[in-house]
Every structure is written in C-alpha cells, then in structure tokens.
Amino acid sequence: MMKKPPIDFFRPLGYYVYQYQNPLTGEIYYIGKGINDRCWNHVTEKGYDPEHMTIVAQHLTEEESLLLESYLINQNSPSDNKVSGHHEERFIMSRFTGLFDQYLNDQREMFNELHEF
C-alpha cells in the first residue's frame, strides 16, 4: 500500500475534486472535493486504495469545487456517496417547454387575489 504523501504535496493543489474508481470495472464509487489532504481521509478511514484515486480538477475556488463535485455525483451516482453534494438542484435536466410552462403556472395575478381576499 502506498504511503501517505507529506502535506507539502497536497497544498499546491488548492481546492480540488477527486474520485475513487475501480480500475477493473471502471465504476466510480466515490467523488469528493477537498483541500490539503482531504482525499486521503478515505484511505485511512474507509480503507480505500490510493491507487484508485484520481484528482479530477485542481486549483479551483471553493465554489467551483462544490459545483463540480455536485455535477459529477449527479452524472455518475457513485455508490459510496451518501449525499449529492451542494447545488445538486442546478444539474437537473429539464425540457425548455417544461420550464416555461412552470414559469407560466407560477405567475400570479395579484390584483385578482387581493380582490378575492
């Protein structure tokens, strides 16, 4: 098993998004965002193999890392992720006509509502 790299290795990555993927099946079983040595917690706490880890993106802002993590979780449905990440509501594919219909249904005629009140 690979030994944990020193913290000086992790610091230049900034905020990053990482994944653990089974090399035999191709299944992505965990996606996360981190800073410093966060990605290594899964090695020590869950027994993940560091050889399965990939840094997907680095040098991100925290907001970028949250959005990318959420998008990748939404697209890949990793088995070990307990939550969908932040901003999952931004990545729901919707037909344009459905969004427009929803918009129209949400419009309210305030004068009529006040009059009925």
pLDDT digits (tens, 9 = 90+) for 79-113: 999 877 666 666 666 788 887 888 888 887 766 66
pLDDT at 3: 94
Is residue 56 within 8 Å of 19, Cβ to Cβ? yes
pLDDT at 104: 85
Rounded to two decimals, what is the model's pTM? 0.75
Flag the least confident range among 31-45, 51-65, 71-85, 99-113: 99-113
C-alpha to C-alpha distance for 26 and 107, rounded to whole angstroms: 46
| DSSP run (H or E) holding 101 | helix 96-106
Is residue 41 within 8 Å of 90, Cβ to Cβ? no
Residue 16 CB: number of other CB atoms within 10 A?
A: 23
